[in-house]
Amino acid sequence: MTLATATNEHLANISNTLVYSSMAVYTLAFFAYIAEWIFGSRSKVARTAAALTSGAEAATPAVTVKSAGGTAVLERPQVVTRSAAGARNVPDGPGAHGGDEQGDLYGRIAVSLTVVAWAVETAGVVARALSVQRAPWGNMYEFSVTFSTVAVTVYLAFLLARKDIRWLGLPLVTTVLLDLGLAVTVLYTASDQLVPALHSYWLYIHVSTAILCGAIFYVGAVGTLLYLFKDSYENKLAGGGRPGSFATSVMERLPSSASLDKFSYRVNAAVFPLWTFTIIAGAIWAGDAWGRYWGWDPKETWAFITWVAYACYLHARATAGWKGRKAAYIALIAFACFLFNYYGVNIFVSGKHSYAGV
């Protein structure tokens, strides 16, 4: 065994250790996010019910936190108007902490742990890259680890930009743990060099943009799913129904359905041009590697299907009668196409994009 080989194996072992370590820290962050939701005080149903049933514009309530010495203003949710038909003024919820000081403390701890886990996982990705001396996304294991890292990067970037999306923390960390668990148990592939067709600078361009698009599409999908739940909750209140205590506790803390709908649309619309570029870059790479730009390979086909699905979603958003829930269903179908393109095609379908086992 040469010194270079021994060094690469050592770096690969370090990478594996760092990935497992990040999973441990993500687990702590997961419990901290759970604590934020549990210890955060429940919002008042009457506030949203009044906003839904009143024809007048709802006042913006100040959210206060409880402390031994009195009260302190934590944040002031913005009143927004639903974009769907039958508009009604609904205030955004205060967040997972529910306006409670203890809940907010657990939320801040959760974010801090998420940052630590992200830093450790990023170091693991870098160590993997050094061990193989190439971009660390040559197989599904490397892609999955890098994907989860980028997804957390997008979340933290939103927080750094002072966007109030801490409600995304719990579903994000849960998904990251599932993704990493699948990567280290089912998808793991030892460090190895790439087949000749992948030795190209397009590996850095095409695959990196695909990972970034997937991470942002994921954020949009979570926002869309929560929008559907929140819209159903608001509709039930507007119709005089009484949601259960658990649904009330969760839904009252989330942004309004209008805010969630707008957030998801902006995220998906912003990344759609980059996904278009990803497909074009892949076609150019295919021309260099295989002598043809497009051959309806399963990976190419499903990438195009995903593009069409998101194009339909964006068109639906601009079409009268298709805004709101109908468009949201199309967005979720589009993200399901992206997931199948990654997991389903790679695992169950053979094609020119099948490399290194999984």
Q: Which residues contact 327 (CB under 8 A, 6 or more apart)?
A: 265, 313, 316, 317
DSSP 33: H
Lowest mean pLDDT among 45-49, 224-228, 255-259, 288-292: 45-49
pLDDT in tens, 228-280: 999 999 998 888 888 888 888 888 889 999 999 999 999 999 999 999 999 99
Please check whether residue 314 is in contact with residue 357, taking contact to mean a CB–CB distance below 8 angstroms. Answer: no
Mean pLDDT of the chain: 82
Please check whether residue 141 is in contact with residue 358, taking contact to mean a CB–CB distance below 8 angstroms. Answer: yes
pLDDT attached to residue 233: 92
Return the exposure string of 34-48: e unless at least 16 CB atoms fall within 10 Å of the residue's CB, then b. Answer: bbbbebbbebebebb
Assign 95 a pLDDT band (cuts: 50, 70, 90).
confident
pLDDT attached to residue 47: 45
Please check whether residue 90 is in contact with residue 61, taking contact to mean a CB–CB distance below 8 angstroms. Answer: no
Return the exposure string of 59-79: e unless at least 16 CB atoms fall within 10 Å of the residue's CB, then b. Answer: eebebbbeeeeeeeebbebeb
Over 70: is that where the pLDDT of 42 sits? no
Distances 1 to 4, 5, 8, 9 between C-alpha atoms, Å: 8, 6, 11, 10
Assign 1 a pLDDT band (cuts: 50, 70, 90).
low
Assign 351 a pLDDT band (cuts: 50, 70, 90).
low
Task: Please identify which residue in the block is written with the tokens 């990705």.
Answer: 125
User: What are the backbone angles phi and psi of residue 313, rounded to the nearest 5°?
Assistant: -65, -50
| Range list of β-strands (E), the chain | 63-67, 70-75, 79-81, 89-91
pLDDT in tens, 98-130: 878 888 899 999 999 999 999 999 999 999 999
CA distance 29 to 38: 14
CA distance 346 to 332: 21
HSE-up of residue 345 (Cα within 13 Å, Cβ side): 22
Assign 353 a pLDDT band (cuts: 50, 70, 90).
low
pLDDT attached to residue 44: 44
Give me the mean pLDDT over the 170-187 stretch: 94
Beta bridge partners of 64: 73
Residues in the chain: 358
β-strands 79-81, 70-75: how paired?
unpaired
Assign 17 a pLDDT band (cuts: 50, 70, 90).
very high
CA distance 290 to 293: 8
Q: Which residue has the higher pLDDT, 146 or 99?
A: 146
Task: Please identify which residue in the block is written with the tokens 């902006």.
Answer: 266
What percent of the chain is modeled with pLDDT above 90?
A: 46
Please check whether residue 207 is in contact with residue 137, taking contact to mean a CB–CB distance below 8 angstroms. Answer: yes
Over 90: is that where the pLDDT of 65 sits? no
**133 C-beta neighbours (distance < 10 Å), count:** 11
Query: Roughly how many angstroms between the first and final C-alpha of the chain, as a whole number?
Result: 27
